[in-house]
Amino acid sequence: MSSNTLEFAKVLDQQDSFAPYREEFYLPLEKIYMDGNSLGLLSKRAETKLFELVDTWKTLAIDGWTEGMHPWYYMAEQIGDRMAPLVGGKKSEVIATGSTTTNLHQMVSTFYRPLGKRTKLLADELNFPSDIYALQSQIRVQGLDPEEHLIRVKSEDGLTLDEKRIIEAMTEDVALIVLPSVLYRSGQVLDMKTLTQAAKERDIIIGFDLSHSVGSVPHALHEWDVDFAFWCTYKHLNGGPGSVGGLFVNERHFGKKAGLAGWFGSDKTKQFDMNHTMTAATDAGAYQIGTPHILSLAPLLGSLEMFEELGMERIREKSLKLTSFMLSCIDNELGEYSFGIGNPLDDSRGGHLLLQHKEAARICQALKAQGVVPDFRAPDGIRLAPVALYNSFEDVWQTVQILKKIMQEDVYKQFSNERGVVA
């Protein structure tokens, strides 16, 4: 049997132990969802937990902070404990708090201390713009010029990064390094272990943005001795739009004062003492700032259950099988339509693929009109993310067939080559 046929896809689905989990999610009607790396789908478990927390507010009012099935006061720690295995951290090293960018600001304000020769921040030119905006802002707070003090490692091909070039940029004037774990456009997985080891050898603090890897790629942050990491929970973790982010702080740094202090970083037994001298928590909780957004935490109570049941190794295995099958179908069906492959072809890719085409914006609009939900990334990128928990191999086969029809029949020419407000 050919490995690029509908029949083969159905065989793979029959053999897939993840198949029952597809029923856990609200799949868009008559659509194939390939944008789970931007926003994961709602699961029935997440919905149930959200309603439970709303009911707690309704029935217990303020007593919901300390009573009920999931007392709000301890929820950030509870969810942090459950996210710890996903990033390879100790429970004490992980907390659910803030958002990706606020957590980055917290970490940089805590660890960036320009002194003497060491005044520069090291990042890369392919990082998500929000991270770069935050780094530029933190440099300005120190009274320095981002043009001089923010180093961005260049990409040779505009898609991927060479770890050797990153290490070469770890010079004696670098005070702090912030890198993505997975590049948001090409899906390249950086060698975090090697980069961390190189930073340690040079006595440089290093942290990673895990937004495009958490829930898709296994991590071992504590074992690798990473200093800090931060991430969102609304992509592969399916926590919902604007769900509360995650933060890892290596236990070596416990006791270091948070750069941005707030009352939820207090020792929880003393938080309501209302003393103007803060007694900080002795774990990652010390880096919280404000009151947790309880209703934005609630869905994670349900969505994380599936990650606990399946484990990251199995999720990664299924993810790679899905993207490998998609690459095979693309190679077999789309060779004559001038598509480029922008992601690594080996296992150093994350949970999504990047197709490149000069008409990408029009093609994405045509895909949506034909019932496939992709993600456009300027100037020429079509990101497709078959997610292990809810996408099938038949989804993958159908997506490529629809894309082939769009190109064969010039369907995309009905649309303007411009992105929407939300790409």
The C-alpha atoms of residue 38 and residue 238 are separated, in whole angstroms, by 10
The C-alpha atoms of residue 276 and residue 371 are separated, in whole angstroms, by 57
For residue 374, the one-letter residue type is P
Q: The tokens of 292 are what?
A: 């947790």
Q: In the structure, how many helices (H) and strands (E) does the chain have? A: 13, 13
Residues belonging to the chain: 423
Rg, C-alpha atoms of the chain: 22
Q: What is the full DSSP assignment across 81-96?
A: HHHHHHHT--GGGEEE
The C-alpha atoms of residue 240 and residue 304 are separated, in whole angstroms, by 12
What are residue 249's DSSP bridge partners? 228
Q: The tokens of 271 are what?
A: 């938080």
Binding site as annotated, residues:
100-101, 128-131, 209, 212, 234, 263, 291
- The one-character DSSP state at 25 is B
Residue 95's contacts (CB-CB under 8 Å, 6 or more residues apart) are 76, 77, 80, 246, 247, 249, 283, 284, 285, 287, 288
Alpha-carbon distances of 216 from 85, 150, 328, 350, rounded to whole Å: 13, 30, 20, 7
Binding site as annotated, residues for pyridoxal 5'-phosphate:
100-101, 128-131, 209, 212, 234, 263, 291
The C-alpha atoms of residue 307 and residue 219 are separated, in whole angstroms, by 14
Using alpha carbons, select from 87, 85, 77 the residue that is nearest to residue 224: 87
